[in-house]
Amino acid sequence: MNKVLPCILILSSIFAVDMKAKKKKIFTVSGIVKNQEGTGVKKARLVILDKNGDKIKEVKTKKNGEFIFKKLKAGSYTLLGEHKTDGDGEIKFNLLGKDLNLTIKLKSDQAIEAPVDNEVDLNMFSEDKKLPQQRKQTENPKLKFEDLFFEYDSNLKALKTEIDSLKTVVKGYQKGQTMPNVSSELLDVIKVPTFQNRVELQNGTIVSGDLIEESDSSLTLKTQIGTLVLKKEMVIRMDELEKPGPKVIFFGEPFIDYYPNKQIFSGKIKNVGEIRADFVRVTGKLFDQTTKTAGVDSIFVKGNKVTYSTNVVSDTALKPGETASYILTVPIRKGTKAEYHTMDINWEQTR
């Protein structure tokens, strides 16, 4: 009995520690921000985004570049860093079972050019260090105009036969490559299936389709081959599929300059989506104490130059991962007083 009691106590302790580890769902992410020289950056702005690109938390680094984020849930995140002189940086990480310590390096947009040394050491051409002899390049023999590389008279008939044969092959190839004319109305009628759900079964099968009906024991999906009814006991996981597209967000809070007759907003935006965003525009609205509009205005950001299929040329596009700056001036209507504001980003997705 005395030997059994210590074993029970040890098993109880192990079980308690294991349960305590499983209950831990909050994590801490700390680290340091460095510049290109490897020195810690003071007062760098750090923003954490979740997997959907939404802002979670924001902090600034300390004197030696250290930072800390507390009370983060498990999941996938993106850490964005920004400094006025040392540039920007980005790092992605996952929180699964333990706290993390990260190091993010900032890169400046200005390239550092290495000095060019145009001086030549004349000592290298001394008698002791003579250059190797270069091989003389011989010119390729050229065929004279009056000389022939084949017997013209005897091969003329054979050449004519080969040319006629090649003409027949080319005509047949061109005929096989003709494409029928398809009108734009007919293309609009053709519908490409786009499914919203992905279901994984116990036997390894993956089914994609739209969820029509769900009960306590079954799922009804509309797939490309028809309607399927699946028992829930066979389903391991069901995820919603998101179409890839552009997603432009504000990179931190905007800086605001207040004037009696206007407010000036400045800051940065970033395309965190997977597809290019076209005609990106930042809109600012001012409201008085009674929630009435006191001023509104918008501005297109300076991005990439794109020529569209309609022959329209614009420089307001942002590719995935690119950032752009904006300066928006919103005038205040006469006789009103602006108490608060809202900021929006609008864009379009073109083919």
Q: What is the CATH number of the domain that holds 259?
A: 2.60.40
- With respect to residue 43, please indicate whether it lies within any of the assigned structural domains: yes
Choosing from 218, 240, 262, the residue where a domain stops is 240
Q: Are 273 and 248 in contact (CB under 8 A)?
A: yes
Which band of pLDDT confidence, cut at 50, 70 and 90, is reported for residue 148?
low
- With respect to residue 150, please indicate whether it lies within any of the assigned structural domains: no
- With respect to residue 334, please indicate whether it lies within any of the assigned structural domains: yes
Q: Does the pLDDT value for residue 319 go beyond 60?
A: yes
Least confident segment among 14-18, 63-67, 274-278, 338-342: 14-18
Q: Are 264 and 206 in the same domain?
A: no
pLDDT, mean of residues 39-48: 90
- With respect to residue 221, please indicate whether it lies within any of the assigned structural domains: yes
Q: How far apart are CA 252 and CA 332, in angstroms?
A: 24
Ramachandran angles phi, psi of 10, nearest 5°: -65, -45
Least confident segment among 186-195, 217-226, 263-272, 296-305: 186-195
Which band of pLDDT confidence, cut at 50, 70 and 90, is reported for residue 224?
confident
Which tens digits make up the pLDDT trace of 58-102? 999 998 889 999 988 888 999 999 988 888 889 898 888 888 898
CATH of the domain at 66: 2.60.40.10
- With respect to residue 15, please indicate whether it lies within any of the assigned structural domains: no
Per-residue pLDDT, 66:
93
- With respect to residue 312, please indicate whether it lies within any of the assigned structural domains: yes
Q: Are 260 and 337 in the same domain?
A: yes
- What share of the chain has pLDDT > 70, as a percent? 73
Per-residue pLDDT, 133:
66
- With respect to residue 279, please indicate whether it lies within any of the assigned structural domains: yes
Q: Does the pLDDT value for residue 7 go beyond 50?
A: no
Q: Are 30 and 54 in the same domain?
A: yes
CATH of the domain at 203: 2.30.30.100
Ramachandran angles phi, psi of 166, nearest 5°: -65, -35
Structure tokens at 189: 């009628």
Q: Which domain holds residue 44?
A: 25-105
Q: Are 271 and 334 in the same domain?
A: yes
Q: Are 344 and 252 in the same domain?
A: yes
Choosing from 105, 123, 150, the residue where a domain stops is 105
With a threshold of 0.75, does the pTM exceed it?
Answer: no
**Number of structural domains, the chain?**
3
Q: Are 339 and 255 in the same domain?
A: yes
Q: Are 295 and 219 in the same domain?
A: no
**Sign (positive or negative) of CA dihedral 221, 223, 225, 230:** negative
Q: Which residue from 272, 269, 243 is spatially nearest to 51, judged by alpha carbons?
A: 272
Choosing from 63, 79, 105, the residue where a domain stops is 105
108-116 contacts, C-beta under 8 A, 24 or more apart: 108/36
Which tens digits make up the pLDDT trace of 153-170? 556 777 778 888 788 777
Q: Are 291 and 212 in the same domain?
A: no
Q: Are 264 and 341 in the same domain?
A: yes
Q: Are 340 and 252 in the same domain?
A: yes
Go through the chain and tell me how many residues it has: 351
Q: Are 200 and 267 in the same domain?
A: no
Q: Are 254 and 343 in the same domain?
A: yes
Query: Kind and range of the H or E element at 88?
Result: strand 87-95
- With respect to residue 19, please indicate whether it lies within any of the assigned structural domains: no
Least confident segment among 3-17, 124-138, 181-195: 3-17
Q: What is the dihedral of CA 222, 223, 225, 229, to 10 degrees?
A: -60
Q: Are 67 and 47 in contact (CB under 8 A)?
A: no
Q: Which residue from 76, 78, 80, 79 is spatially nearest to 95, judged by alpha carbons?
A: 76
Q: Are 27 and 99 in contact (CB under 8 A)?
A: yes
Give me the half-sphere count of Cα atoms (radius 13 Å) on the Cβ side of residue 94: 2
